[in-house]
Each structure stands twice: as C-alpha cells, then as structure tokens.
Amino acid sequence: MVEEMLAFRCIEVGHETIRQWALKFGQEFANIIRRRRPQPDDKWHMDEVVLKIAGKTNYLWRAVDQHGVVLDVLVQSRRDKKATKRLPRKLLKRQCRAPRVMITDKLDSYGAAKKEIMPGVEHRQHQGLNNHAENSHQPTRRRERQMKRFKSAKQAQRFLSAHDQVDNLLLPPRHRMTATDYRTERTRAFRAWHDVCGIERAA
C-alpha cells in the first residue's frame, strides 16, 4: 500500500526500503501515539491466542479497554501463571493505575495472577463478556496471513507493539459511528498522524 501511494507521487521505493523504514521508525511512532493517548477506561479485557512461529506454539496476550483500544501486547512461549502475570504487570507500570474491572476468559491462571497483582480489582471470567479482546485479534490474523506468518517471537512482538498503536489512531471503530462522525474522526486521526511523523500540513 505504501509503495503504491508513493508511486502515485512518482516516488519509486521497494518493499525492502519500506520494511527498513518500519523497523527504524515504527516503534518510535508507536511510543509517541501511546504517550498522547488519553487514559484508558476502567475496564480492561485480556485474552490470549495461539501464534504458530517457526513451527512452535507461542501465545499472543493482548489487553484492550471497553472501547476496543489496544493497551498492550505480549508474545510469550507459555500460558501458565508466571506468563499470565507479565501482561498485567506491564500494564500497571505503563498506566500507573489499576482498572476497576478485569475481564478475561476462564483460563485458571488469570484468576491466580489477578489475586497476586491486583487483589482489589473485580474479576469477571466469562467467554461472552470478552468479545472486545477476542475481536482485537482479527487484524493480527489478517496481517499474519499477509506476512505468511511471523518469523520469530521477537519479530512478532516488535511488529505488533507498533502496529496496534498505529491502528488505535488510524482505525476508529467504524461500526459505532455515523458516516459524518467517522469522516471527522479520520480527519482528526490523520492530523494527529502528521504531528507524530513531523509532517507539515498544507495551509
């Protein structure tokens, strides 16, 4: 997509150049977006899915708020209590506050981890309540197919950490908005993106 957009402006670049740009600037842009993001709401949804990487089973852990905004991701090789504790700890360090409610599926290690890390937080374990987190994996699955799977856990972590934050900014929840509101939000998002990238907008 980037290649075609630049070609339209008579700028010729290859896939490898774009990949190097993403490696060099992607995480920096994602960090700026994360710092500018408003405080998340007080319900955190957490979920994990299997990622097959180089023939080995890994797990992608993702946390979103009640509006579907991705808070953070973590790629790990295990799904036990020790692994489960890492994402909440990472979130607490970044958000500097605990949620009011934590919503997960019925994986036992969520309850055990929550008791140690966030004992005062209400914990709801129900498959039907966790659609926000489950749906948040869909863009990853699409990217995974386009990229013909991730090559390593490190690559997956690096890519998804940046990709999810850019998606938060540029892809507002279309199904919850009128067409007018969506266009307004997209305009605002691209203005913010220009600021993040240091692009001067035309007067």
Type of residue at 107: L
Give, rounded to a whole angstrom, the gap between the first and last alpha carbons of the chain. Answer: 26
The predicted structure's pLDDT at residue 75: 96
The predicted structure's pLDDT at residue 172: 76
Using an 8 Å Cβ cutoff, are 167 and 29 in contact? no
pLDDT value at 160 more than 70: yes
What's the mean per-residue pLDDT of the chain?
85
As a whole number, mean pLDDT of residues 50-55 equals: 92
The predicted structure's pLDDT at residue 4: 66
How far apart CA 133 and CA 120 sit, in angstroms, is: 22
The predicted-structure confidence for 56-112, as pLDDT tens digits, reads as follows 999 999 999 988 889 999 999 999 999 999 999 999 998 888 999 999 998 999 999
The predicted structure's pLDDT at residue 31: 86
Nearest alpha carbon to residue 91 among 154, 42, 143, 49: 42
Domain boundaries, the chain: 39-150
| 1 band by pLDDT with thresholds 50, 70 and 90 | low
pLDDT value at 203 more than 60: no
Type of residue at 49: V
How far apart CA 161 and CA 70 sit, in angstroms, is: 10
Q: What is the CATH number of domain 39-150?
A: 3.30.420.10
Q: CA quadruple 40, 45, 51, 57: dihedral positive or negative?
A: positive
Phi-psi bin for 198: left (phi > 0), alpha (psi -120 to 50), beta?
A: left
Strands in the chain per DSSP E = 43-53, 56-65, 70-76, 101-104, 122-125
Of all helices (H) and strands (E), which one includes residue 121? none
The predicted structure's pLDDT at residue 14: 76
Q: At what angle do helices 153-170 and 138-146 cross, to 10 degrees?
A: 120
- Measured at the CA of 144, the angle between CA 21 and CA 54, to 5 degrees, comes to 100
pLDDT value at 42 more than 80: yes
Give the DSSP letter of residue 75: E
Structure token pair of residue 76: 């790990």
In the chain, pLDDT over 90 holds for what percent of residues?
A: 37
As a whole number, mean pLDDT of residues 118-132 equals: 84
As a whole number, mean pLDDT of residues 27-44 equals: 86
Burial of 68 (C-beta count, 10 Å sphere; 0-12/13-18/19+): middle
Strand order in the sheet with 43-53: 70-76, 56-65, 43-53, 101-104, 122-125
Using an 8 Å Cβ cutoff, are 81 and 109 in contact? yes
Structure token pair of residue 55: 């023939």
Q: What is the pTM of this model?
A: 0.79
